[in-house]
Chain A
Amino acid sequence: MEGYGSQPPQAQQNGLAWIPGATTIGVVCADGVVLAAEKRVTYGYFVASKGGKKVFRITDCIGAACAGLVGDMQILAKEVEAQAELFNMDVGRPITVRAASKLMANILFNRRYAPLITQTIVGGLDDEGASLFVLDVLGSLIPDKYAAVGSGTEIAMGVLEEGYKEGMSVEEAKKLVTRAIKSAISRDAMSGDGIDFLIITKEGLAEETIKF
């Protein structure tokens, strides 16, 4: 096992760099945002966990859903959560979805030579309504209405593309997202074991889980 000690085990197998797969989706609805990710964590050909959590609370009205190295996404989400809380106390109002996303993009961009290996969907509700941003490893920031990241993207996107409608209700979006992730799970070996939802509406942030 050459180089085993010098690189994290999850990033390497048989001399190849492995990045855990995922199917992670975000959808903007009429009355909120639905973020979702399946629960499988893989180290190469090994299913390391069936209970990984890839959705994160940033504030009471902003969440993030990730694909990539689980450690990196946890560090990133915690950092933005802390900064968002400081913003709230300093500025005297909750941070907007755009500002929180930009903050995260800056962290990723500043680390572009030692990147956090994670693609992220940030979504939430603010004075301007529901919105969603997609971020890549190097800190690009792209607004969108619906998005998918991770190894199951192509399969999930097929379902989303066909099923997404402007002004969907949260319940409709949840059904669509479930269908898209289930579809990805059935053909992507690196996705599976259940779905975590992060649903953001005027009532606040709600977490739900389906286990397979």
Chain B
Amino acid sequence: MSVFAAPGAYDRAITVFSPDGRLFQVEYAMELVNRGATILGIQCTEGVVLASEENIEALEEAGYSWKIFRVDEHVGAAIVGLSSDARILIDQARIYAQSNKLTYDEPIDIEVVTKRICDIQQMYTQHAGVRPFGVSLIFGGVDKTGTRVFGTHPSGTYRGYKATALGAGRETVLAVLKDEYREDLSLEDSTKLAVKCLVKALEARQLPPRIKVAVIPTATKRLEMLTDESIEGYIKELGSSK
């Protein structure tokens, strides 16, 4: 803090630049996201995998996910950060997806829905009387242009990825992905890789494995959540191959 102006005067109600050109509120939102439970997205020619760490509460309904959402038949989103903020963005994404069908008679492109959500996130870094969304999303899906994965930030920026991760375990996951990701991976192998990444990320923080996975195969262009049993199977397989 000695080099830069101290936060305090520039991180209150309105998002304004500090004298050294920073938006503290946005940075705080990013910090929140960086501490959240890890999510990841992987694309291969056979489809897209979205996966998340999730703490499962006692007596929770099976197959319930609060981090992976279906946006449209062919689009999914994984969220990290404030899940209440994320709900608002997911609702908007779903509306954009349906409205695109009404306007153009075709399913929305993954990049377009990502961009619309980032437009909203950006708006909340510039308007008075609001705070930024404390959430990052990974949008994944299959559209006219192929399999796509995009990561967003509270600032409203987004990027396209072959594979990416966000949240507390991102560095562990990105290290594994950098090592083991190949474009010719099958969807099955991508799913295994996703599970492996999250298991490692959880191990690194001494946490038990608790993972949710969704896949969108190129063949069907339909998002499906994997059952807890099949994910359990992948985790066991991982343990036995070690």
Residues of A within 8 A of B (CB): 87, 90-93, 95-96, 98-99, 101-103, 106, 127, 141
Q: Are A90 and B112 in contact (CB under 8 A)?
A: yes
Please name all residues of chain A whose beta carbon is closer than 8 Å to the beta carbon of B106 when the two chains form the complex. Answer: 96, 98-99, 102
Residues of B within 8 A of A (CB-CB), count = 11
Minimal Cβ-Cβ distance residue in B for A105:
B105
Please name all residues of chain A whose beta carbon is closer than 8 Å to the beta carbon of B145 when the two chains form the complex. Answer: 93
Residues of B within 8 A of A (CB): 102-106, 109, 111-112, 115, 144-145
Please name all residues of chain B whose beta carbon is closer than 8 Å to the beta carbon of A90 when the two chains form the complex. Answer: 112, 115
Please name all residues of chain A whose beta carbon is closer than 8 Å to the beta carbon of B112 when the two chains form the complex. Answer: 90-91
Quote the shortest CB–CB distance from B149 to chain A (angstroms): 16
Tell me what chain B mostly uses at the interface: helix, strand, loop, or mixed: helix
Complex alpha-carbon distance, A95 and B111, angstroms? 15
Q: Are A103 and B103 in contact (CB under 8 A)?
A: yes
Quote the shortest CB–CB distance from A210 to chain B (angstroms): 35
Complex alpha-carbon distance, A99 and B102, angstroms? 10
Q: Are B105 and A102 in contact (CB under 8 A)?
A: yes
> What are 17 residue pairs bridging A and B, where the CB atoms are less than 8 Å apart in the complex?
A87-B104, A90-B112, A90-B115, A91-B109, A91-B112, A92-B111, A93-B144, A93-B145, A98-B104, A98-B106, A99-B106, A102-B103, A102-B104, A106-B102, A106-B103, A127-B144, A141-B105
Minimal Cβ-Cβ distance residue in A for B108:
A91
Complex alpha-carbon distance, A99 and B112, angstroms? 15
A99-B144 contact, Cβ under 8 Å, with A91-B111, A91-B112, A92-B111? no
Complex alpha-carbon distance, A127 and B105, angstroms? 16
Minimal Cβ-Cβ distance residue in A for B145:
A93
Please name all residues of chain A whose beta carbon is closer than 8 Å to the beta carbon of B104 when the two chains form the complex. Answer: 87, 95-96, 98-99, 102-103
Please name all residues of chain A whose beta carbon is closer than 8 Å to the beta carbon of B144 when the two chains form the complex. Answer: 93, 127
Complex alpha-carbon distance, A91 and B100, angstroms? 12
Please name all residues of chain A whose beta carbon is closer than 8 Å to the beta carbon of B105 when the two chains form the complex. Answer: 98-99, 101-102, 141
Complex alpha-carbon distance, A13 and B193, angstroms? 75
Minimal Cβ-Cβ distance residue in A for B111:
A92
Complex alpha-carbon distance, A141 and B103, angstroms? 13
Quote the shortest CB–CB distance from B160 to chain A (angstroms): 11
Please name all residues of chain B whose beta carbon is closer than 8 Å to the beta carbon of A101 when the two chains form the complex. Answer: 105
Please name all residues of chain B whose beta carbon is closer than 8 Å to the beta carbon of A87 when the two chains form the complex. Answer: 104
Quote the shortest CB–CB distance from A110 to chain B (angstroms): 11
Complex alpha-carbon distance, A91 and B148, angstroms? 14
